Structure 1
């Protein structure tokens, strides 16, 4: 699982990326005049030269976008029955390519494990990582995160028919009688007990094994990432149900190599306008397809994100 693996496997460290505010000299610079003005203007000229070498322009010249992602974690990035790479992360990568080249196919995917996400960025193997990456303060010392595109969390998956409990309230009231299954993890009991302090906990070697135990009614609920739950409910309508309680929120965002504000700002512009502007229909269709979530149409008039 994405967020659960992220929380347990990485305690990121790295050099702090310092962001400096840049101020134009304007009339003050002109008033100084002569050599002094030239020396003060030199940093601005250097900045302009650096910005002109942004990865944004390198990608445009190359003619394709190179994206680091995965291939084994639905609904984020996985291969469908035909072997094609699909998922929410893949949709976002293709949206970037569409806005760069007016062609969503002009993207090369570099398939990698979660532990390769930061190394592939800082060594310029990829232009951007779009791979269900949880935003943490530690990682933000090593990469620049985009605005988040999903708020993950964990929840409890139940059987929609034939299960012992109908929802979270019934399980909490049942106390010690409840058994929850989840993927083996040193934090598993702690996480389950955040929601159900008295529940018994059974550990399994994978999320799939925990779901098999739920299907066999060996456990009353399976703790899963919320996105995985929504995906499974999409794949087997009427078989599974969300207990109605989620916890341990964390944000998913894309990441770019630090020090390139032009590239970061461009990606953020694409993501934001997909959520509230010109590409909303595309973004909403992806949310519906992968999570079964109907996004409300953004209100016109005053931008609500600033309200």
Structure 2
């Protein structure tokens, strides 16, 4: 019995040392900069600007974490990665954090730890300002007279018909061709991601409008390597306070810059998360 108790006591005493060895937060703080995995080719999420600097909403989420860590949002080393490298680079420890318009799925959640969401994506309908159809209700009433341009995909027709059951669907093999169809009048609307729609409107003020209807929701979150609850909790705290607390000015300025939408300030008083 004494041997068992001694062994158990020794194991308990050793446990904190093991946890300390796997402390990603301490590792990043000691290193002095955050290693962020993201892409570089998908505005407004992550892309190279005119000065060949990585920018976008995903990049700003990483900068928000760096600001919380070091008081300096630029203390980041970027790892530019393809979409299929997001999970492997976390698994091998090549990056501390991935923010790369990563859709939360149950399958992926078996391989990474997702943070709280920082954006909810969906499909929207882009219209021409001053066109024949002013909004979603007008498009729906137009029935089969309405043609919707969409990026070619095996599910494209089914996706469009979820919102506009009678519309004619024209599929294009590039986003540029889809927008050309809308500009030339060959299509009355273009179905695309809400984020891309908003970004396109920011880039072309006064030319386009949002039909005001979104569907096919999906959640975007950052991700970390599994097994380090302290690091996950820290990143979650940073994102949460960006969306609801002391860092709201940083988050809201980024949201308005990339999506053209001014967010309402979080309600003061009873925390909205618990309503």
TM-score (norm: length of structure 1): 0.85
Residue 58 of structure 2 aligns with which residue?
89
Does 2:271 match 1:300? no
Residue 69 of structure 2 aligns with which residue?
100
Does 2:235 match 1:267? yes
CA contact (8 A) 1:51 1:262 kept: no
Aligned residues: 274
TM-score (norm: length of structure 2): 0.94
Partner deviation per Cα, 1:191-231 (whole Å, 9 max, x = no partner): 01110111111111122221121111111111110011111
Does 2:185 match 1:217? yes
How far did residue 39 of structure 1 move?
A: 4.8
Residue 167 of structure 1 aligns with which residue?
135
Matches within 5 A, 1:41-190: 41=9, 44-53=12-21, 54-161=23-130, 163-190=131-158
SS at match of 2:206: coil
Partner deviation per Cα, 1:147-167 (whole Å, 9 max, x = no partner): 000011001101012x23111
Distance 2:268 2:9 in 1: 42
Distance 2:103 2:96 in 1: 18
SS at match of 2:185: coil
Residue 172 of structure 2 aligns with which residue?
204
Instruction: Structure 2 unaligned segments of length 5 or more: list them.
Output: none
Matches within 5 A, 1:220-259: 220-259=188-227
Instruction: Structure 1 unaligned segments of length 5 or more: list them.
Output: 1-32
Pair 180,64 (structure 1): closer, same or farther in 2 beyond 3 Å: same
Q: Which moved more, 1:35-44 or 1:278-287?
A: 35-44
Residue 28 of structure 1 aligns with which residue?
none
Cα RMSD, aligned residues only: 1.7
How far did residue 63 of structure 1 move?
A: 1.6
Residue 255 of structure 2 aligns with which residue?
287
Q: Which moved more, 1:51-60 or 1:113-122?
A: 51-60
Residue 19 of structure 1 aligns with which residue?
none
How far did residue 251 of structure 1 move?
A: 0.6
Pair 78,39 (structure 1): closer, same or farther in 2 beyond 3 Å: same
SS at match of 1:223: strand
